[in-house]
Structure 1
């Protein structure tokens, strides 16, 4: 039987001592609430389904996310760590004061809807993909809390709510005139690495993170391949090089201003301790594309363009995926955008072959 006692602060404390279970206690404002809780808890103990929830009731989402960032996030890639810290701050801002036990599917669904109707820094609505990733972080936090932290949570409030649709992939292509304007501007910069990095992205479809972390030993200009080891999906791959990409790498590998102690192909200025990191291109890239009249063009669109061109020259989906590193054909199709006018030319070619 539970013991119900009145505390000096005029609240009511229920204490349950039952063989085979740890002593459990909880304080309530009224005696009726204490009796109801004790009755439910004892019934769960009898049925063998009782879960100690006090830890999850005491820990706020803010505290849980900070623990996650300290324990789980450091095991992930640096780029993922940065994005998770940003997403965690957003979740803390909106839901951080709730305890883990108090966060319900309804509250999470309300957060989803509110975020989808929020304007971002560019004055545009927050994208569904951004909200999906925020919910994915929240969901994984609960999975870790349930499976590893032993906080007594009975369910994951993110698991069964409707997730925003990822939407259609960007279909921004680079016309020949735009390509000329862009690279004319890039080549005007005093550091040739800016144009080299963009050309490599356009010729190979490699991600910016893959290009910027390349060491000289990963580039084989004789075999015309690049060996990638640190990729987004953690799968190493060999990327074949076009003639243009090979020539760019030759220039980059023989860069006369490369320090002797730096093995990066595209290196930046010395940082703390004199160590050089990857070349910081983002600000210069944004200035260059604006000068070229391509405000709506993103660096990642070079990867989209490269993948689309690989398909247009006749490579199969499997061959393109081997080069680009896409793990699924569905994701590859989101990156592939064929020009209608090019398809018209192919159709005309097929018609001529039958005449």
Structure 2
């Protein structure tokens, strides 16, 4: 039975307290903790009615707050992404209710999950690449120093390698063998390690970055700063809805014309070729040009 004290934490704790404690105590037990911590930060920092979602007291948390958060996120990312974030938020609130006694009811229960949207098929043209990188202050052949310029290099590197943003930002000098042209990822989104072959252009891009202390991330950027700076550059470039993750679609579509599909799956970390296909977005005209 619940004690009379159950739910008292709702008067003193906020949504942010739930997310922070979950991040400290629950997320480290999971293989994908890096990605989960990033998602928890996105969830908490989303503004609802002029203030961060994380600032809402649990005692004041209503279905309307969660639906407003859901709808705000749907304007930024796909329904599938929002659904995954809702699953994470739901579990965090469940732990707060069942284990910490901070809640009595489940505020997520009445909230409808968004339907999975169709997979994105957004390609990035060379003109858009040039516009985005220029808006971020990157010029070919000139030194890279400012954070926004490192974001531009990360953007170009993503198109060369099909690596995710978090994988790129986690790279250190120990993880990259420039001679062998291989980047080692000790822990990926799928929970395992992966070695990513690097093109000569990818190596060239890494060599543009300013030197960092041994063991420190080569790009010296956080996920949140990368995201914010990229959005500013993209909007300034006026290229529409190009997301950073669209680089994975573009890279996989380009790489599919260069290497066999099994090698491509190994490079990108896909164990299911059907999942890999969702990132392959070549047009019929492009495929026709490959035919004799």
Take 1:303 and 1:190, find their aligned partners in 2: how far apart are those partners?
26
Residue number among 97, 110, 115 corresponding to 2:59 in the alignment:
97
Tell me how far 1:301 sits from its aligned partner.
1.6
- Larger gyration radius, structure 1 or structure 2: 1
Residue number among 178, 188, 195 corresponding to 1:231 in the alignment:
188
Take 2:12 and 2:264, find their aligned partners in 1: how far apart are those partners?
43
- Counterpart of 1:227 in 2: which secondary structure? strand
Q: Is the 8 A contact 1:168 1:334 kept in 2?
A: no
Tell me how far 1:238 sits from its aligned partner.
0.4
Take 1:125 and 1:248, find their aligned partners in 2: how far apart are those partners?
29
After superposition, the Cα gap between the structure-2 partners of 1:319 and 1:157, relative to the gap in structure 1 and judged at 3 Å, is farther
For residues 217-263 of structure 1, give each alpha carbon's deviation from its aligned partner in whole angstroms, at most 9, with x where no partner exists. 111122221001243344221001122213333x24xx6x5256674
Residue number among 73, 86, 90 corresponding to 1:139 in the alignment:
90
Could you list the runs of 5+ residues in structure 1 that have no partner in the other structure? 1-50, 100-106, 269-276
1:311 aligns with 2:263: no
Take 1:62 and 1:166, find their aligned partners in 2: how far apart are those partners?
36
Partner of 1:13: none
For residues 108-160 of structure 1, give each alpha carbon's deviation from its aligned partner in whole angstroms, at most 9, with x where no partner exists. 5x7666666x567x9x588534642453234203542465347896x967569
Could you list the runs of 5+ residues in structure 2 that have no partner in the other structure? none
Higher RCO, Cα 8 Å, sep 6+: 2
Partner of 1:243: 200
CA RMSD of aligned residues (A): 4.2
State TM-score, norm by structure 1.
0.59
Which structure shows the bigger proportion of residues in strand conformation?
1
1:128 aligns with 2:72: no
After superposition, the Cα gap between the structure-2 partners of 1:62 and 1:334, relative to the gap in structure 1 and judged at 3 Å, is farther
State TM-score, norm by structure 2.
0.70
- Counterpart of 1:226 in 2: which secondary structure? strand
1:206 aligns with 2:127: no
Take 2:79 and 2:60, find their aligned partners in 1: how far apart are those partners?
24
- Counterpart of 1:187 in 2: which secondary structure? coil
Q: How does 1:1-355 map to 2 (within 5 A)?
A: 51-52=1-2, 54-56=4-6, 58-60=8-10, 63=13, 65-74=15-24, 75=28, 76-77=33-34, 78-86=37-45, 89-90=52-53, 93=56, 96-97=58-59, 108=63, 118=71, 124=75, 128-129=79-80, 131-145=82-96, 148-149=99-100, 158=108, 162-182=112-132, 186-187=138-139, 191=144, 194=150, 195-249=152-206, 251-252=207-208, 258=211, 263-267=216-220, 281=226, 285-286=230-231, 288-290=233-235, 292-313=237-258, 315-316=260-261, 318-326=262-270, 328-329=272-273, 331-346=275-290, 349=291, 352=292
Q: Is the 8 A contact 1:267 1:279 kept in 2?
A: no
Partner of 1:18: none
- Aligned residues, how many? 272
